[in-house]
Amino acid sequence: MGIADLHGLGSVVTLGAIVAFGVAATVIAIADRFHLLLPRMRTLLLGVIALQAVIGAATWLSGTHPRDDLHLLYGVVLLAALPLADSFAEDAPPRAQAGVLAVAAAVGLALVWRLSVTG
């Protein structure tokens, strides 16, 4: 398994992590109850995305480049989306905070789709 294969596998793991986070954030927003699991899941998801970005950088440095240079931009935006959403919702009530993070997960899903198209 080469580094490009690892990056491909990482994209599937990242997709699954974003879906799980988005579902959890949506359920928490609908239930209107803050759950301590949400910040932990957010941190874990950010770690998964960051690891995928590092593997992507290693793939690029190894000489395997994406089909479209927009792939690099989408990767950076995906890495920044969750901390940015979290900073917007930092002082919000639990329901609103979970809602903002659920929207960030939906944006993340769209970005992963664009990453798969441009990769």
Looking at residue 58, its pLDDT comes to: 94
Distance CA 77, CA 110 (A): 11
Kindly indicate the confidence band of residue 53, based on its pLDDT and cuts at 50, 70 and 90: very high
Instruction: Answer whether 0.85 is exceeded by the pTM.
Output: yes
Whether pLDDT at 80 is above 90? yes
Looking at residue 12, its pLDDT comes to: 93
Contact, 11 vs 115, CB < 8 A?
A: yes
Q: What's the first-to-final CA gap in the chain, in angstroms?
A: 18
Kindly indicate the confidence band of residue 119, based on its pLDDT and cuts at 50, 70 and 90: confident
